[in-house]
Every structure is written in structure tokens, then in C-alpha cells.
Amino acid sequence: MGLGRVDVRLWGFRTKEKGQGNEGEREETADLVFCLQARPLTRYLPIRKEDFDLKTHIESSGHGVDTCLHVILSSKVCRGYLVKMGGKIKSWKKRWFVFDRLKRTLSYYVDKHETKLKGVIYFQAIEEVYYDHLRSAAKSPNPALTFCVKTHDRLYYMVAPSAEAMRIWMDVIVTGAEGYTQFMN
């Protein structure tokens, strides 16, 4: 890993034929594999520039924004459904999320009409965004699509509707994660 770069491990499964099973059936096995892809470290830091274009940034990261129907992305706002685990009562609820760079908030609502606000996460509180590779979210509806948003006072577990939507949401939220800066003095 060079200075100013981070190695990103991309995990996936490779299937291969194992051979003849019972009654002439073919069996397949899956190997967990990963490859390293170097990306500039600055891709994983919050971006405060006023002229920052969120959609262009996400597209330049290699995401298929136009083919991912689960995410609505513009230059300043990202919207879409995620399933979120509750704070006190640990049940999972589908919520409409709005990441707004102008308001510097990640808000969530009952539905896409954005009339009943259920909660707000301020950019200055967001410390980290990461994939839940330890599968620590209790009874996640889809552990493979679960990611975490860590704030000063809470850990939010969220489930995306697809793998591409999860990657887009994680990269979007990282651009507003300003909470880590309190440790830089």
C-alpha cells in the first residue's frame, strides 16, 4: 500500500464443479475469494467543497448509478429505501432515506413522501461507514447486504435492497462523515 492510497478488498464467490455426486448429479462448491484494488485514500474522507457533485463522484467510483433503480442520486442529494434496525426496540423497519449535502444530514422518513420524519443523523456525528462483515446485526433480514453507520452515540445497522445499492449508499455516506475530525487535534 502506497502513501495516500488504501487497498480495498473486494470479496466474492467463485464456483467450481466438484464432480459427480449421488445419482450422477454434478456438485458445485464455492470458494470465498478476494482481490485487492487500490483507490486513493481521499475517496474515503468527507468532502466539504461547495461545488462538489455527489453524482459525478459516485459515478467516477465505478458505480452504475443509472442501472441501480434502488437509488435516486443528484449532485447534492441521494434518496432511496433502506431497512433500518430500531434503536430501543431492535426491530427492522423499511425507511425512506435522504442524504442531503446542503443540509448536511442523513434523514429518514416513513415513506418516500417525506412528510413524517422519523430521525436525523447529522454529518458531524458520523464517524465511520462500513460493511457488517462480522454479521453483528441481530436478525438482519439480509446479512450480506447489511452495513453500519457509526455515530458518536449510536451504531446504525442498515440493509440495502441490492449489493450495488449498498455500495452506493456506503460511498455516499462516507462523503459526509465528518465525525472523525474531533480526533484530529
What residues does each domain of the chain span? 1-44, 47-183
Cβ neighbours around 173 below 10 Å, total: 23
pLDDT the model gives residue 30? 44
The answer as to CATH 2.130.10.10 being correct for domain 47-183 is: no
Which is nearest to 78 in space by CA: 62, 61, 101, 60?
A: 101
pLDDT the model gives residue 92? 97
- CA torsion through residues 150, 153, 155, 160, sign: negative
Report the C-alpha gap between 77 and 100 in whole angstroms.
5
pLDDT the model gives residue 87? 86
Report the C-alpha gap between 124 and 142 in whole angstroms.
29
> What nine digits make up the cell of 33?
475469494
Report the C-alpha gap between 74 and 94 in whole angstroms.
22
SS3 label, residue 151: strand
Report the C-alpha gap between 19 and 45 in whole angstroms.
47
For the chain, the average pLDDT equals: 80
Confidence at 58, pLDDT banded by 50, 70, 90: very high
Q: What is the pLDDT of residues 147-174, one digit of tens each?
A: 999 999 999 999 999 999 999 999 999 9
Cβ neighbours around 180 below 10 Å, total: 13
List the beta bridge partners of residue 72: 79
Ramachandran sector of residue 113 (left: φ over 0; alpha: ψ -120 to 50; beta: rest): alpha
- The one-letter amino acid code at 139 reads K
Give the strand pairing for 5-20 and 72-73. Answer: unpaired
Please tell me the pTM assigned to this model.
Answer: 0.74
Residue 95 pLDDT greater than 60, yes or no? yes
